[in-house]
Amino acid sequence: MFTQLCQRIRLLTLQAEELVNNKEIEQCLALLVERQSLLEQLKAQYLSVGHDPELSTTFTSLLRWIQQQDALNNAKVVQLRQESKQESVAQVKIKKALHHYKNVT
């Protein structure tokens, strides 16, 4: 069960990355909520087993990998937000210019 949860969490993380790349942020957030729930289940299983070096290594490795993936995805989301903001500013400028042009003619 522990290994299956790890695999599912990895899969959800990769799917979230793909959604970020496709600019489908809302769907990504839904996956991240599901992943968080699975991480909590995984943590509970990990803590219930006691000290198992193999599980400890697997758990730590998974958390580090998630942290790296999330950092990359976060950077992409920040970039997308900046691009969206710039597009909005450009649209406002165009709208103002069109409004001004209509008033002149």
Of 22-26, 47-51, 70-74, give the lowest mean pLDDT range.
Answer: 47-51
- Please, are residues 9 and 66 in contact by the beta-carbon 8 Å criterion? yes
CA distance 67 to 24: 20
pLDDT tens digits, 83-95? 888 888 888 888 8
Tens of pLDDT, residues 2-46: 999 999 999 999 999 999 999 998 999 999 999 999 999 999 999
Domain boundaries in the chain? 2-104
Rounded-to-integer distance, Cα 89 and Cα 12, Å: 34
pTM (two decimals): 0.77
* Residues 6 or more apart whose Cβ sits within 8 Å of residue 80: 20, 23, 25
